[in-house]
């Protein structure tokens, strides 16, 4: 028993180390790419090489992610969730939403969209400013507020596109992509408190590494497929946008989300808004 706990803890520590290492490697590698080729760092950036160099593989993976992600989005909003036992009620489908769920989703969207719109992106490396601290909230909204929080993140991103003047066909990918950023840690991290090794370790697996890859491939697959409607060349889609999404989501969520999560979880629980508590209360 103790042996199992020790190995589980070691795995969690490994996940945190891996998440932070990938985040650090991304920052370092882009800095290196910029030093080697200041005119076109994307040609040197390892992530660009991977996403664009293996575009066919990424496209195939993206197709699977897209189909699964979209199906999950529809199912969860319809009140069903996939479990080991098959499809089960998630008790958070839109039809079951109370006014609290509507308020939670609307306010999550307004805060996420408002922070995205009102805070300037910060400098990643000089000349490149795509790190958006507000992105750290998406996985937390999912973990703390459940499906209303996931939809809040999706709508918030859409609203940021609208008010920023970026709304277009590509926004559809960003809409469900942001839903998935919130959804993965909501669904797969078992302890949302950020106060145990397993909570933080699982967050680094699902809320940092997995969500960054899933959101990048989901959004970029859509941009690739809709190329004739969106107008972005494949190099820009896989060589620039995919690495940007991936590195932003890795770095921001590895650095900021656990700090915010640790501070916010007790507040949210104390106000009776943690989704597991709300479902339990509703059942009682």
Are 172 and 150 in contact by the 8 Å Cβ rule? The answer is no
Q: Which of 65, 209, 245, 251 binds another protein (CB under 8 A)?
A: 251
Smallest distance, another protein to C-beta of residue 130, A = 10
Q: Which of 7, 60, 122, 195 binds another protein (CB under 8 A)?
A: 122
Tell me: does residue 66 bind another protein (CB under 8 A): no
Of the listed pieces 47-55, 164-172, 182-190, 214-222, which binds another protein according to CB under 8 A? 164-172
Using CB under 8 A as the binding rule, the residues of this chain from 20 to 59 that contact another protein are 27
64 vs 259 by CB, closer to another protein = 259
Query: Cα–Cα distance between 112 and 157 in angstroms, integer?
Result: 7
Using CB under 8 A as the binding rule, the residues of this chain from 133 to 152 that contact another protein are 133-134, 136-137, 151-152
83 vs 98 by CB, closer to another protein = 98
Tell me: does residue 16 bind another protein (CB under 8 A): no
Tell me: does residue 267 bind another protein (CB under 8 A): yes
Query: Cα–Cα distance between 1 and 228 in angstroms, integer?
Result: 57
Smallest distance, another protein to C-beta of residue 148, A = 8
């Amino acid at each position: 028993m103790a042996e199992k706990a020790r190995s589980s803890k070691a795995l969690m520590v490994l996940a945190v180390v891996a998440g932070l290492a990938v985040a650090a490697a991304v920052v370092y590698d882009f800095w290196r790419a910029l030093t080697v080729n200041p005119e076109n760092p994307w040609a040197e950036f390892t992530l660009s090489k991977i996403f664009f160099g293996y575009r066919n593989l990424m496209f195939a993976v993206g197709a699977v992610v897209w189909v699964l992600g979209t199906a999950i989005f529809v199912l969860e909003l319809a009140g069903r969730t996939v479990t080991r036992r098959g499809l089960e009620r998630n008790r958070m489908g839109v039809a079951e939403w109370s006014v609290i769920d509507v308020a939670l989703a609307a306010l999550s969207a307004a805060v996420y969209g408002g922070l995205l719109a009102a805070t300037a992106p910060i400098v990643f490396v000089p000349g490149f400013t795509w790190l958006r601290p507000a992105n750290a909230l998406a996985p937390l909204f999912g973990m703390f507020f459940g499906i209303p929080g996931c939809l809040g993140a999706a709508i918030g991103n859409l609203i940021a596109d609208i008010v920023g003047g970026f709304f277009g066909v590509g926004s559809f990918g960003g809409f469900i992509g942001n839903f998935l950023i919130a959804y993965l840690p909501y669904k797969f991290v078992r302890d949302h408190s950020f106060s145990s090794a397993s909570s933080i370790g699982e967050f680094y697996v699902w809320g940092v590494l997995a969500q960054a890859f899933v959101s990048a491939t989901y959004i970029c697959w859509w941009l690739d497929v809709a190329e004739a409607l969106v107008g972005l060349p494949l190099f820009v889609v896989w060589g620039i946008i995919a690495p940007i999404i991936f590195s932003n989501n890795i770095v921001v969520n590895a650095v900021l989300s656990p700090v915010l999560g640790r501070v916010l979880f007790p507040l949210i629980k104390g106000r009776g808004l943690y989704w597991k508590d709300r479902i339990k209360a509703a059942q009682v």
